[in-house]
């Protein structure tokens, strides 16, 4: 490792809705360099979006749109059967909602990162990946795409002429094919901050991600995600930030 190595640390934020509160956004915004803000699909509403954007602006945190299936009860973690054109319209409208709130707040939205089941589906379904990329491009070609590393969304966004960045997950286990281990399986969620930070250091040193069952696979990464809805999110992000900084790795947004 060298002192010039850089990586982004992102979190999914703005996931409250009305009186229902999710996560500690204020604490997370003091730790991350990029914030994926819910756009009213799986979570979020106009007031929550406005508050999250203002808080991110005050902290100098780069902002991304975080569209997902309109499934509040399932937190966007269930696939809703939709044709690719329907997905494109859904994603475009959610991005547009956040852009409207951002215009009022006087902040810039720099990228788009699909949420939950939508992101997982786009990882392997090229039609869904192309629909998402098409929606982003139609809203603004200046928006970048943050995609799960090694998935179909990367080439789809690149083919659409968008800037593409890849992410890995600090708090999720990986399968040998590079996909996230399903949450329904034991060990899929990593809740030990020290274990997660140590795994990230090994990854950044080798470029290889450890997988369930043993072994490792090569992945590219411009950003590391910590899920803001986890009860361990603040402790996880704090430990990772401290560990990486101590190792001489600078935390900086991938999209300025």
Set out the domains of the chain in order of their start, with CATH numbers.
6-251 (3.20.20.370)
> Do residues 117 and 68 make contact, with C-beta atoms less than 8 angstroms apart?
yes
pLDDT at residue 75, rounded to an integer: 86
* Per-residue pLDDT at 156: 98
Residue 137 is encoded by which pair of tokens? 């491009």
SS3 2: coil
Integer Cα distance of 189 and 131 in angstroms: 29
The model scores a pTM over 0.85: yes
**Each residue's pLDDT expressed in tens, for the chain with a length of 256 residues:** 444 599 999 999 999 988 888 989 999 999 999 999 999 999 999 999 999 999 999 999 999 999 999 998 898 889 999 999 999 999 999 999 999 999 999 999 999 999 999 999 999 999 999 999 999 999 999 999 999 999 999 999 999 999 999 999 999 999 999 999 988 898 899 999 999 999 999 999 999 999 998 999 999 999 999 988 888 899 999 999 999 999 999 999 999 7
Q: Where are the alpha helices (DSSP H) in the chain?
A: 25-29, 46-59, 84-105, 116-124, 126-139, 153-159, 193-206, 233-246
**pLDDT at position 184:** 86
DSSP structure string for 149-184: TTSTHHHHHHHTT--EEEEEESSB-B-TTSSBPPTT
Please tell me the predicted confidence (pLDDT) of residue 2: 41
* pLDDT the model gives residue 117: 95
Q: Residue 19: its pLDDT value, please?
A: 86
Distance from chain centroid for Cα 99? 17
């Amino acid at each position: 490792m060298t002192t010039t190595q850089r990586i982004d640390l992102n979190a999914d934020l703005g996931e409250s809705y009305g009186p229902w509160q999710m996560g500690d956004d204020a604490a997370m915004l003091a730790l991350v360099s990029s914030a994926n803000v819910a756009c009213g699909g799986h979570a979020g509403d106009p007031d929550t979006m406005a508050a999250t954007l203002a808080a991110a602006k005050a902290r100098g945190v780069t902002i991304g749109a975080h569209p997902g299936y309109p499934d509040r009860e399932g937190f966007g973690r269930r696939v809703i059967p939709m044709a690719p054109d329907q997905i494109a319209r859904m994603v475009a409208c959610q991005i547009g909602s956040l852009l409207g709130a951002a215009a009022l707040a006087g902040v810039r939205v720099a990228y788009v990162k699909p949420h939950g089941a939508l992101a997982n589906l786009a990882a392997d379904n090229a039609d869904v990946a192309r629909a998402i990329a098409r929606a982003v491009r139609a809203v603004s070609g200046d928006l970048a795409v943050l995609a799960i590393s090694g998935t179909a969304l990367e080439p789809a966004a690149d083919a659409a002429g968008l800037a593409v960045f890849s992410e890995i997950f600090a708090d999720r286990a990986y399968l040998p094919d590079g996909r996230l281990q399903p949450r329904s399986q034991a060990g899929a969620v990593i809740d030990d901050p020290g274990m997660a930070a140590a795994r990230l250091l090994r990854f950044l040193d080798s470029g290889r991600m450890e997988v369930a069952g043993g072994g490792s696979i090569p992945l590219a990464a411009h950003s590391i995600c910590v899920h803001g809805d986890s009860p361990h999110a603040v402790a996880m992000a704090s430990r990772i930030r401290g560990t990486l900084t101590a190792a001489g790795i600078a935390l900086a947004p991938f999209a300025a």
